[in-house]
Every structure is written in structure tokens, then in C-alpha cells.
Amino acid sequence: MYDPKREYRKNKENIDNAIQNVLNHGLFINGPEVKELEKSLTDYVGSNCVCVSNGTDALKISLLALGVQENHEVITVSHSWISTVEVISIIGAKPVFVDIESETFNIDVKKIEESITDKTKAIIVVSLYGQIPDIDTINNIAEKYNIPVIEDGAQSFGATYKGRKSCSLTTIGTTSFFPSKPLGCYGDGGACFTNDKELEMKIRAIKNHGGVKRFHHKYVGLNARLDTIQAAILNVKFKYFEETIQNRNDCANYYLTKLKNIENNNFQLPIIKDNCKSVWAQFSILAPTKKVRDHIVNYLKENNVNVAIFYPSPIHTQDCFKYLNYPRGCLPITEDVCDRIFNLPCYGELTIKEKDYIIKTILRYNNENNT
């Protein structure tokens, strides 16, 4: 689905030099590259950046900074990577699931308000597959009830909503620098973003054992700092990040143009809202049925196309969340999407030959199975 070695080979000299600089100065924790990265990302997003160890910790730290604790409720979605939800449970709060839109796969804003109770202490919205949901509406609902909003922007860093950057749109924005992300390092990494000075201070403390200064711990915290070497790599990759976003969009647009005919056979290609720009963390297609999805995925794999299914099972159906007692059928759109979705490789280093082969294989399947 993604080959980080290709991007590395294009920028090998600069990345190797950046890593060697860290090895030379030896400041492997909280080195100058971390501060450089935080400044660059703050300027880019328009919200103050605090780098952390990974995207999961970014979410957990955000909840802790907001004071979410045991017996509180956090509204979110069941169609996401499990990090979105597991952090809620880890701190003792209760995940409350809202269904998604069938077109964008993001949270259905019309379903949020009915899920709010006096125990609701936060809303986590996921900018899934690289597209931001209807944040203005979400913020208006949250403001009405005085509830903070966290954007899980693990897949959307660099995306825009009405011209504003992902991670600058809510009380706290978070992202991941996992290697396959649009801006990825060579290990784990993440960041939190906020323009609330008090929250920024708490996030900085919590990620570093709760300390506001050395040997003075104001909060119970985590060891969740971004390694200097990973920051050095990200500093290099950030210099051509806009090119990376454009290349991903070019790849997605090529698919959209060449695959239009499969919509005649009831496949649904990705839909990007007019006020959004996606960074295409995934290129997600809906098959007409689960049976067809499973069949075309097997067909593509048999023909050496490395497709994937993100995500085959909703989070509320996972064994670890059965205690929440969400029966199958309670989130019908989420469950239907998980049954029908599959994802194509979509990144800038794919060659035209590879994209054409993927497209030709899908069209051949479509023609052979046209009913």
C-alpha cells in the first residue's frame, strides 16, 4: 500500500545528513531538531505545535489535558483505527459512538447532538482517509453545550477545510507521523496542536512525565516525547510536503478519471466535498455488496495488486469493546461501509505503469463481472 523506501531514495543524501547531524551532537531527546519541527509545523498549521511520541499518545494526552477521566463520556465514531477509541477507554472514560456519512465516511453531524449527555466531556472527530468533516457545524454544536472538540487528524495532516488547515480547527488537533502517513517519519511520531496557552502548557507537561520543569511534576504524565532523529527526518520531508500532497492528489485524480466506468456497476468512488482538499491517506472505494468487495479484493491480490481493507470490522464489534453493548445494527452506515470498502495504493511514488496496471485490472474485473 505504501513503500517508504521510494521516498527515501529520492532524498537519501539530505535525510542521511540530518540523521548524521543528530548522531554527531548526541541530543537524542529534546534536541534542537524537535524545536525546529515544532516551529515549522506551528507556522504551517496556524496553531501551536507540541510534538509527541505517536498519534495515539497525542489523543491520550489531549484527553488528559482536557480533564477527561473515569465515568466521563466521549463522543466519536466506530469507523477508524482503534487508537481513536482505545485512548478513551484507557483513561476510564466511556466511548459513545455516532454513525457516519455514507459518502465521506466521516461523522454524521446530524447524529451528534442526540448523543450528548451531562457526562459528555469531549468529542473526537476523525478526518478519515485525508478529508476533514463538517467542522464548523461540529464546533457550533460543541459550543452550545460547552464541550471541547479534538480532531483526530492522523490521516489528514495538510488537508484543508474552507481554506483552513487540519489540526487548527478545534480545541485540540492531533496527528500521526507513522511512516505511511502523508507526512511520515521512519518510526513512530505525532503532534498536538492548540491555540489555548493553558492547554499547550498542560500538553507539554503531560508528554514529559507531567513536569513543568525538571524534577517538578504538576500532573501525572507520560513518557511521550518525539525522538530527535525522527524530528530530523520530518524536518527534511516537510520541506517538500506540499509537493507530496500534490502528488497524492494527482494519483487520486488519475484513478478518479480512469475508473469512472465502474460506477455503472454500482461501485462508489471517493467523494471530496467542494470546501475540502484531501491529502488522500487512502483511496477508498465502496463495492456494491460485501460479496463483491471480497471477490474483487481477492481478484486484485491474485493479480499482484496490494489492496487493503480499511477497516473490515467496526470498532464497536471488536472483542475489547463488547462491554459497551453496542449490538450489530445500531450503526447501520458504519457497518455497511465496513462490509463494502476497499482501498487502493495512493501515493506520489507510484509510477504511471503501476497505476495503469491497477486500473486495467479493476476494469477487467468490472467487465468480466458486469451484470
Here the CATH number for the domain that contains residue 136 is: 3.40.640.10
* 165-176 pLDDT, tens digit each: 999 999 999 999
Domain that holds residue 341: 241-368
Lookup: cell for 123: 468529542
* Residue 242: predicted pLDDT: 98
Residue 208 shares a structural domain with residue 323: no
Residue 216 shares a structural domain with residue 346: no
* 194-242 pLDDT, tens digit each: 999 999 999 999 999 999 989 999 999 999 999 999 999 999 999 999 9
Residue 258 shares a structural domain with residue 179: no
What is the CATH classification number for the domain harbouring 281?
3.90.1150.10
Lookup: cell for 131: 478529508
Burial code of 65-83, b = ≥16 C-beta within 10 A, e = fewer?
A: bbebeeebbbbbbbbbbeb
Count of structural domains, the chain: 2
| Amino acid letter, residue 205 | A
Report whether the peptide linkage leading into residue 129 is cis, meaning its omega lies within 30 degrees of zero: no
Query: Which of 238, 268, 297 delimits the end of a domain?
Result: 238
Burial class of residue 4 (count of CB atoms within 10 Å of its CB; 0-12, 13-18, 19+) = middle
Report whether the peptide linkage leading into residue 299 is cis, meaning its omega lies within 30 degrees of zero: no
Q: Are 33 and 232 in contact (CB under 8 A)?
A: yes
What pTM did the predictor assign? 0.98
Percentage of the chain lying above the pLDDT 70 cut:
100
* Residue 370: predicted pLDDT: 78
Q: Are 156 and 140 in contact (CB under 8 A)?
A: no
* Residue 358: predicted pLDDT: 98
Lookup: cell for 101: 456519512
* 95-110 pLDDT, tens digit each: 999 999 999 999 999 9
